[in-house]
Each structure stands twice: as structure tokens, then as C-alpha cells.
Amino acid sequence: MQDYGLAMGAPTLSIFSEIYLQYLENTTIFHILTKHHILVYFRYVDDNLVVYQNNTTNIHKVLNTFNNSTPTMHFTMEEAFENKTNFLDTTISKDSNNIQFSLYRKLTAIHKTPAEPNLASVRYLTKHLSIYRVNNIEKEIKINTIKQILRNNKCVTAILNKSQPNKKNETEQKKKNSQTRWVKI
């Protein structure tokens, strides 16, 4: 029996959750980040990414402070392993000089698609290849994974060719996008 919080699956769940998390960020989390010298903090829905310096921040104390500040919520932590961490659909890798990004799909989701994969679901899976700048080897690996998903779901892999963007339209879109500037403040 649930004693507090919102019912799972309630239509208002995502709205109220977002309001509550923004409230926490403005009243509690900002102070925790400042106190513990967190360099960068990102949040998307309920996933957070925290960047810190190991010599000035004890990340386990940060996690403990998060959990003590919200007794009805329990935060967990996944530390980077071999200088890599996954955040949303991205793997972030760090070597001595660079930070690199690559595509990521959870292991549980690698071979899953909607009950009947169609052109829209394939477009969704291939969209990441055009959004992120990935090298040709990684691109080929991702395309082969998508083909395997289609085969696992008894779909013809020719559907993948239909999902590729039209080169002429892509060139026109790039020209149009080069004139458009975006800024997030």
C-alpha cells in the first residue's frame, strides 16, 4: 500500500514530478551543489549528471546529503567506470585531453522495439545517427544493431533504407540551418 506520493501511471504524474523536482532544485539542490563544489549539474526528468573534481568533492557525501534532504525520495548513484558514463542515450568518455560522445542504448533495450516495428520506429532508431557526430565504424555498428532488431522481430531489413533521409532534402536543410542560430540561456 502506498502511503505518500503520486500513483504510478497517473496522468498528472509527470507534471507534478517536474514541478516538485524544479522546486527541489531551487530550494535544496542548488545549495547542495554549491556547498560541495559541484562543477556542472544536468537534469532531464529524473536523470541527473553531476561533474565534480575528485580532490575537492566527496561524491558519497553529496549523495548522502541529497538523500537526507528529501526523506520521501531515494537517490542512487552510478559512478563512471573506466572513464565512461552513460547519460540518457549518450556515452560520455574522457581521456587525458578530450571528452567524446557516442550513442548508448541500455542492454535491456537493445533488441526491443514496438510490437510491430514500422518505418516510424526505425526512423526513431536511426535519427541518433544523424543527430550525433559518430565515426563510420560506430555508425555501421548501430545500423547492424538496428538490422538485427528488425530480424529479431521478423521484419524485412529493407525498411531501414526507407528510413534514411533524402540527400537532396538533407542538403537543403543544412543550408537553411546554417543561417539559423540557436542559443540556450
28 and 74 belong to one structural domain: yes
Examine residue 185 and state whether it is found in any structural domain, yes or no. Answer: no
The structural domain count of the chain equals: 2
Q: Which domain holds residue 140?
A: 106-172
Of 89, 107, 91, 101, the C-alpha closest to 145 is: 107
What is the structure's pLDDT at 67?
A: 92
Angle at 76 between CA 99 and CA 108, to 5 degrees: 75
Examine residue 96 and state whether it is found in any structural domain, yes or no. Answer: no
C-alpha distances in Å from residue 107, one per residue of 3, 133, 148, 168, 174 = 33, 22, 14, 35, 33
Strand order across the 99-103 sheet: 84-87, 90-94, 99-103
Examine residue 1 and state whether it is found in any structural domain, yes or no. Answer: no
Per-residue pLDDT tens listing for the chain (185 residues):
567 777 777 888 888 889 989 999 999 999 999 999 999 899 988 888 888 888 899 999 999 999 998 878 888 888 888 888 888 878 888 877 777 777 776 655 544 544 455 667 677 767 767 776 667 777 787 788 777 777 777 776 666 665 555 555 555 555 555 555 554 44
Examine residue 116 and state whether it is found in any structural domain, yes or no. Answer: yes
pTM of the predicted protein model: 0.59
Count Cβ atoms within 10 A of the Cβ of residue 21 and give its class: 0-12 exposed, 13-18 middle, 19 or more buried. Answer: middle
What is the structure's pLDDT at 11?
A: 83
The fraction of the chain above a pLDDT of 70, given in percent, is 70
Partners of residue 86 on adjacent β-strands: 91
